[in-house]
Amino acid sequence: MDWMIILTALKEEIPTLHMKENVFVTGLGKVNATMHATRLILEHNPALVVNFGTAGAVSNEFTHGLVECTGFVQRDMDCSPLGFALFETPYEEGGHMIGTPGIICGTGDSFVIDISGMPEASMHIVDMEAYAIAKVCREFRVPFRCFKYISDGADENAGDDWSTFEHAKAEKLFVAQLELLSGKN
């Protein structure tokens, strides 16, 4: 059993950590994250899964820095024309949010450049993998922690902002969080 495995979408998000034995790159999106999280949990039987990566800010409360997400919604699940709540997967138990309110991450299979269609106060940040990993961890009853560094404003400049983002700076703050989790501080 590994004590902890770390999942990230892209090697670029962890410029030095990607070389560690317990760090795995899943690729972008919910399908890749689900596939890799499932396989890695079955192979490593970790006591903890940690997700790290970049995210866009939707809320004015969290516009930069490292945040720990506590709640996760699937922001591109919309069966409201069938009478279901936004983000709710029809006929599935457990509600639409995994985790608890606090800092809510909305996961979807798109890089957000326009937040105008997103319901106000439904999420604070957006990414492309966290909800999927949280759901796999919930199903396998593995504790899950998620840290996201705000790389952009989820607006028309998001692509340029992410492309020029200083990933090494974000990784350094994440490493400090890992040391706290490991009890090394």
pLDDT band at 184 (very low <50, low <70, confident <90, very high): low
Is pLDDT at 101 greater than 80 in this prediction? yes
| 184 located within any domain | no
pLDDT digits (tens, 9 = 90+) for 4-39: 999 999 999 999 988 899 999 999 999 999 999 999
Q: Categorize the per-residue pLDDT at 183 as very low, low, confident or very high, splitting at 50, 70 and 90.
A: confident
Q: Is there a domain that residue 135 lies in?
A: yes
Percent residues over pLDDT 90 in the chain: 77
| Residue 175 token pair | 């490493």
Whether the per-residue pLDDT at 118 is higher than 90: the answer is no
**CA dist., res. 144 & res. 129, Å (int):** 13
Answer whether residue 25 is part of any domain.
yes
Instruction: Say if 185 falls within a structural domain.
Output: no
Whole-prediction pTM value? 0.94
- Backbone φ, ψ for residue 79 (5° rounding): -110, 25
- Domains: count for the chain: 1
Structural domain span for residue 119: 4-179
pLDDT at 81 > cutoff 90: yes
- Decide if 64 is inside a domain: yes
Helices (H), 24-76: 30-44
Domain-embedded: residue 58: yes
The per-residue pLDDT for range 84-94, each reduced to its tens digit, is 988 889 988 87
As beta bridge partners, residue 69 has 146
Mean pLDDT, rounded, for 98-117 = 92
pLDDT at 185: 52
Q: CA 73, CA 119: separation in Å to the nearest integer?
A: 12
CATH number where 37 lies: 3.40.50.1580
The DSSP element (H or E) to which 50 belongs, if any, is strand 48-57
| Encoded tokens for 129 | 């993998």
The pLDDT value given to residue 145: 98
Residue 173 falls within a domain, yes or no? yes
Answer whether residue 67 is part of any domain: yes
- Is residue 121 very low, low, confident or very high in pLDDT (cuts 50, 70, 90)? low
pLDDT at 1 over 60: no
pLDDT of the residue at 67: 96
